[in-house]
Structure 1
Amino acid sequence: MPLQRSPSYSSSPAGSRVQSEPDIPLKVGQDIDNSFVCVRNKRLRTESPEDNDRFSDFKNEIKSLLTSWKSEQDSILTSWKSDQDSMLKKLTSDVGEVKLTCSNIQKCNQELEKSLEFVSKQFEDMRTRTKKLEKDKKENQACILSLEAKIQELQRMSRSAAVEVRNIPQKDRESTADLTRIMSGIGKALNLSLQPGDLRDMYRGPGKPGTNRNIVVEFNGVQMKYDLLTSVRNFNRSRKPEDKLNTQLIGLTSGRTPIYIDEHLSAYYFYLC
């Protein structure tokens, strides 16, 4: 079935159209008859005295509350400000004490640095002096060794013609003449001619008190020393122990105290032994 279009405005019959203005915006600017519209005027409100008193009381109450709240806030702020001022004052005091302490610590550190520098300088001086002393000690030790060697050589040369006679009883106020008679007696017992001219010096060596100190005999020549030592060895070799060279043979005592004759050695030799 074919579709039919709606009839146009111009082709519609007059009686079938609606009596209204189709284009309302065009009529807005035209005068409209508002005589049939009834306008109601709004009645103004009139306040009663009770309402005014109630409002005034409410206003005063609000004002009182605000005043009280303001006073309370002022008191809180004042108290807070006082606390803050107290804390700030204490903090300022503490900061001042910390600064003073830091200043004292800094001064103390400076003094310590000066002390350390002084001690370090003293230590360096002591180390330098110690090195010098060690060097001097080595040199002195070398010099002492050299001097000891020279002394030993001199002693060896001076004692090359000396012997020690041990175990001879010591007399009170013993003299060189007494020692010469002892050596003459030893020469007679050994059948060896010992003349006073052969003896350069005789003396008692060091020893403990109450003991028979050794007799040191120095000859004028080394050969006499060797002759004496050879005679003693030959004399003792051919005899019994009780008949070897003793004090009875040289006429000192009635007893037989053995007599020993050896080379005279220096104390340094016994130190080395």
Structure 2
Amino acid sequence: MPLKRTPPPSTLNRGEKEENVFCPRFIIPQSGSTPNLTDMESDNNTSRFKRKRENSPVFMQEIRSLLSASNAKSDEKFTALQSAMAEVIAQNTEIKDAIAFTSKQYDDMMVQLNQLESERKSDRVHIQQLEEKVENLERMLYSTKIEIRNIPKKPGENKDDLCTIITRVGNVLETPIQRQDIKDVFRVNYKDSKSSAIIVDLSSVILKENLLKKRSSFQQQKQAKQT
């Protein structure tokens, strides 16, 4: 028959918790070396020094000086940038003004050219009209004039002598010409020839045409006699 043994009495008091048995108050380090208390003290001193330096007035003044210098540089850069922008804007304004001035000059020139072209066309029409008038006047002036060549010039010849010659020519052509039928008579010297011609201005176109017809028939009769 087996024997029953009673467990040994517990050493815990009733007021203590069981967890104190498994969680001792002091933890013994595993290694045999002791912690470096000097390093811990130096770290604490450095952090204290940093906190004191950061809170010191000299440090704060240095920070303010750095910030002021940085702000001053930023202001200088901003001022320089503003100056450069103002110069660029001024240049752009000058360029715009120059372009506007050039465009205005071009427009004015085009207006002047159009006006000159219109005036040129008008002048051309006017010149054509004047040429037609001159031609008509020449026709009217020469409508009663006859040119007579191959009649020698006498020394000291005057208009009376020329009128006598014209009268004789009319008699030869069987077309009587009176003094009152002669409006004007004069000689014309040609540069390319030593001979001269007599220009007679008759009183009517009918007399001129009759004289020309008689001249044609006279020449035909003369040629017929020669053959």
Q: TM-score, normalised by structure 2?
A: 0.52
Q: Give the drift of 1:179.
A: 2.1
Structure number with the higher helix fraction is 2
| Amino acid corresponding to residue 14 of structure 2 in structure 1 | Q
Question: 1: distance between equivalents of 2:172 and 2:178?
Answer: 14
Question: 1: distance between equivalents of 2:135 and 2:118?
Answer: 30
Matches within 5 A, 1:51-70: none
> 1:101 is matched with which residue?
87
> 2:179 is matched with which residue?
196
> 1:30 is matched with which residue?
14
The list of structure 1 runs, each at least 4 consecutive aligned residues, that deviate by more than 6 angstroms after superposition, is 83-87
Q: What is the SS of the residue equivalent to 2:165?
A: helix
> 2:164 is matched with which residue?
181
Matches within 5 A, 1:105-254: 105-112=91-98, 114-116=100-102, 118-119=104-105, 122-123=108-109, 125-126=111-112, 129-130=115-116, 133=119, 137=122, 141=125, 145-146=128-129, 148-149=131-132, 151-168=134-151, 174-187=157-170, 189-190=172-173, 193-204=176-187, 208=191, 212-239=195-222
Q: Give the drift of 1:86.
A: 9.8
Question: 1: distance between equivalents of 2:113 and 2:193?
Answer: 52
> 2:7 is matched with which residue?
20
Structure 1 gaps of 5+ residues are 1-12, 33-54, 67-76, 244-273
Report the structure number with the largest CA radius of gyration.
1
Change (3 A) 1:147 1:116: closer
Q: How many residues align?
A: 188
Q: Which has the higher contact order (CA 8 A, sep 6+)?
A: 1
Question: 2: distance between equivalents of 1:240 and 1:100?
Answer: 103
Identity within the alignment, %:
18
> 1:70 is matched with which residue?
none
Q: Aligned-pair RMSD on alpha carbons?
A: 5.2
Q: TM-score, normalised by structure 1?
A: 0.45
Question: 1: distance between equivalents of 2:12 and 2:197?
Answer: 170
